[in-house]
Amino acid sequence: MTPPSQQEFKPAWWLPEGHTQTLWRKFAPPERIIQKRERVELDDGDFIDLDWAAAISGSESRDRIIVVILHGLCGCSSSPYVAALQTLLTANSIASVAMNFRGCSGEYNRLARAYHSGVSADANVVFSDLFSRFPDHRFAFVGYSLGANVLLKWLGEIRRHPQVMKAVAVSTPFALDLCSRAMLRGVSRAYGSYFVRRLLQDLDAKRQHFTATHNALQLEQLQALGSLDDIRTIWEFDDRVTAPLHGFRDAEDYYGHCSSLHFLPGIATDTLLIQSRNDPLIPAAALPNPARLSAQVRLELLGQGGHVGFISGQRENWLEQRILRFILLD
């Protein structure tokens, strides 16, 4: 079967440009998928929750393939794009499990720290846990936006693992500094404002949780951040919250250490990058130079599709079908 080419994706007529593609994916009624939860305990005392598509267990999966899914910023295992992919994988008898980053599963994580675009160590713990339980299986990874950046960073760090067969990264913010700056201007400021409101609300709720549960040590770390009432941009949030909570000097230090652009040359896993030229969150300057990609990495830069959109009027679930075909056939 011939994989879809860049020309084969055509946006639905009612979603003609990047913003509508992006917003439709966010607000359209999601697929309904029954999930089964597992918890992975971490050495630092925290935890990560995994949500399996309940209909297909790992041991029953077609060709012994397990697909691991990493969500985006302010997302979770029930995000529409996760549910859509798990639905299609289930229909094809492939087991899938969605990793909730710390604090994203509907339960407060135990530490002041949470998650960010470079938490590849947490992804590695999840893979190690899954591999220990399914040593005879092959794994494919799919990451979206922030989760795609985490995935590519992890792939570059591990170089190659014989049981990691394929990886797909969708709408990756390869250069975090450029993407953060893009949300300071134009219509893209609306996306930045949305993320900042959500992140600050989550942080305030976590403060209240630590207060109610008398977790003085972790509450002290959050209180040390000071007043955050004047934060308006993602850059400010990363500078005053993400960086100090996760061991970085400032936003620039965080962006420099965690941008997946630096890790692309080291990736030895067969990897597909799906990007759109009209992505409202990722400027053209943030996209990788094809000459810097390793031989195992393929970039499909589509003319349209928005940010984690790719809603087609001619092919149902174009993005999910593209991911499935890459995993099974390409």
Q: Is position 204 annotated as part of the catalytic site?
A: no
CB hemisphere CA count around 91 (13 angstroms): 13
Owner of token pair 């300071």: 184
The answer to whether residues 89 and 96 touch, using CB atoms and an 8 Å cutoff, is: yes
pTM for this one?
Answer: 0.95
- Burial of 314 from C-beta contacts in 10 A (0-12 / 13-18 / 19+): exposed
Residue 169, SS3 per DSSP: strand
Provide the pLDDT for residue 315.
Answer: 59
Owner of token pair 């400010």: 236
The catalytic position among 145, 180, 259, 276 is: 145
Q: What domains are there in the chain, each with its CATH number? A: 6-175+260-328 (3.40.50.1820), 183-258 (no CATH)
CB hemisphere CA count around 57 (13 angstroms): 5
Q: Is position 279 annotated as part of the catalytic site?
A: yes
Alpha-carbon separation of residue 217 from 113, 213, 241 (angstroms): 12, 11, 17
Q: Which two tokens stand for residue 266?
A: 């080291």
Cα-trace Rg, the chain: 19
- 65-70 β-sheet, strand order: 35-41, 47-53, 95-99, 65-70, 138-144, 164-170, 270-276, 297-302
Q: What are the tens digits of pLDDT across the range 209-248? A: 999 999 999 999 999 999 999 999 999 999 999 999 999 9
299 phi and psi angles, rounded to 5 deg: -100, 125
Side chain identity at residue 43, one-letter code: D
Please give the average per-residue pLDDT across 42-59, as a whole number: 96
Provide the pLDDT for residue 314.
Answer: 57
Q: Is position 49 annotated as part of the catalytic site?
A: no
Q: How far apart are CA 175 and CA 15, in angstroms?
A: 27
The answer to whether residues 310 and 18 touch, using CB atoms and an 8 Å cutoff, is: no
Alpha-carbon separation of residue 130 from 135, 138, 177, 298, 322 (angstroms): 8, 10, 33, 26, 25
The catalytic position among 105, 246, 279, 312 is: 279
The catalytic position among 238, 259, 307, 312 is: 307
Provide the pLDDT for residue 6.
Answer: 46
Please give the average per-residue pLDDT across 319-326, as a whole number: 97
Q: What are the tens digits of pLDDT across the range 95-128? A: 999 999 999 999 999 999 999 999 999 999 999 9
Owner of token pair 């971490």: 42
